[in-house]
Structure 1
Amino acid sequence: MFGIAGYRPVVTDTVGATLSTHGPNLRALLGRRLDSVLGLCFTVDGQWCSTYPLILDFGGTRLELVFDGFDQLYLSWNTIDSGVPIDTADPADPADSADPDPDLALAWADPGRPELDAVLGAAVQQVAVLENDFHLDRVDGQRAQAWLLAGLELVFDNGRKLQLYNVFSETTLELDTPESERRRREILG
């Protein structure tokens, strides 16, 4: 997946599925320090590509996450070898394998995000799975509404709160976001 050798994430799209599939591993992050973060970055300018997996290393336990669609969270644990080059060529497209565009080359690197820098070295005190209130007012005046899986929230011992959530298939990072009645949390610890 994504041209990353050995990467086999498990996709979930509800809080219940995320908790039943990944709950024990998420709880195991409690008390662990965030040692480093890697993201796929464009080699030409170092910019983080937020549509690819992000790796958070908690003392040797590596949480790998990426989002897709409105409510799909792809999580895996310790499956990505960041030393193996990324192969983004599409084997179904012969033109794609000819001469790759150097501007699109990706490599694992520090994504250089202040939200992540603020929590590096801090220990996780609480983990929560997030849901967002989604609603759509239809042309006929009716409202469609649902709670959609949004992402994860990590609260650290330095008082900072990091949210990793989905915005149209991109991993978005926010630090110390205030509580909102449009977002629910299922707290694991």
Structure 2
Amino acid sequence: MFDFGINGYQPQWHHSLAQVAVTHGTRLAHLAGRTLTHTWLVWDNDADRWFPDGPVLLDFDGEQLEINHQRLDAVSVTWNTINTATPVRWPGTDLNLRWHDGLQAGLHGQRLDTVELLEWTSADLARGTVALTFTLAAQQLTIYNALDENGLSYTPPDPRYRRLRLYTTSSPAHNAVELEDLPLLRDLLDAGADVEDDDGTGWTLLHHALDAEHDGHVQTGKPLHADTTALLLARGADPLRARNGVTALAEAQRCGHWLAAEIMQAWIERHQTA
């Protein structure tokens, strides 16, 4: 594995927003509330400028986040693996590189409010590339794929990005259910999200879907739908799994989500006779 001239560095490559969310979403979300205490870039001493092929390091109160982009589809996220006291020696070159605090002045000492994952949606070469954006107390910082290298931005993200805000109180999959974002939920499940993911109280994705679908119907007056429920059942969610003694099926019947109840009842009957 290419180590970018950094002894001991082993980048972990991901190729979609969903992969990053499933693997690192919870840990990224828990950075919120910490202070950005230090930042590091790889610097080209001879050219006196940032060398964007090397990883970008953000230290939040001792939790060092290491971000790197490569090719048109790869982003690496690692934690606490790089020692900036170690020299950077790019293999096969005579580049004169070092670690340097080169981010925009004033970032240090700011409290982190939120972390979001971004996916570029415009129909161009960058389509599908993943970025991470950090909303600090008085500044925005986005680290994005600048077509086979890292890019930095200090302004709000372009509206053509698909955005997933990360929360400490819910997983990315629960967030997708709440937003009723079926493509995102599909991608997260494809990337390894647990279809029986619960919030620690037994509130599974399926229970959440029933609540979101029924509440949306009641609050907006729009027709009742059960597409999130159907997707979760198709992926193996158990309608007989109980929360506080109440199954998802019983909950749908109780709250009046008759469409989901019909679908789940048919699912149960089919699986009992299979």
Q: TM-score range by the shorter chain?
A: 0.7 to 0.9
- C-alpha change, 1:72 and 1:86, in structure 2 (3 Å) is same
Correspondence 1:154 to 2:142: no
> What residue is the counterpart of 1:24 in the other structure?
26
Gaps of 5+ in 2: 168-274
Amino acid at match of 1:54: V
Amino acid at match of 1:183: Y
Select the structure that is richer in helix.
2
> What residue is the counterpart of 2:78 in the other structure?
76
The one of 106, 109, 114 equivalent to 2:97 is 106
CA distance in 1, matches of 2:158, 2:17: 18
Correspondence 1:119 to 2:107: yes
Greater Rg by CA: 2
User: What is the Cα deviation at residue 6 of structure 1?
Assistant: 1.0
- TM-score, normalized by length of structure 1? 0.80
Amino acid at match of 1:162: L
> What residue is the counterpart of 2:43 in the other structure?
41
Aligned to 2:129, what secondary structure does the other structure show?
A: strand
CA distance in 1, matches of 2:126, 2:146: 16
- C-alpha change, 1:187 and 1:51, in structure 2 (3 Å) is same
Higher RCO structure, 1 or 2 (CA under 8 Å, sep 6+):
1
> What residue is the counterpart of 2:195 in the other structure?
none
CA distance in 2, matches of 1:86, 1:119: 24
Amino acid at match of 2:69: F
> What residue is the counterpart of 1:184 in the other structure?
162
CA distances 1:2-28 after superposition (whole Å, capped 9, x unpaired): 121111121111111101111122112
CA distance in 1, matches of 2:141, 2:133: 6
Select the structure that is richer in strand.
1
CA distance in 1, matches of 2:35, 2:141: 13
RMSD between superposed Cα atoms in Å: 2.0
CA distance in 2, matches of 1:89, 1:132: 31
- Paired residues in the alignment total 165
CA distance in 2, matches of 1:19, 1:78: 19
Q: Stretches of 4+ moved more than 3 A in 1? A: none
> What residue is the counterpart of 2:150 in the other structure?
171
The one of 48, 56, 71 equivalent to 1:54 is 56
- TM-score, normalized by length of structure 2? 0.56
The one of 105, 111, 119 equivalent to 1:131 is 119
Aligned to 1:19, what secondary structure does the other structure show?
A: helix
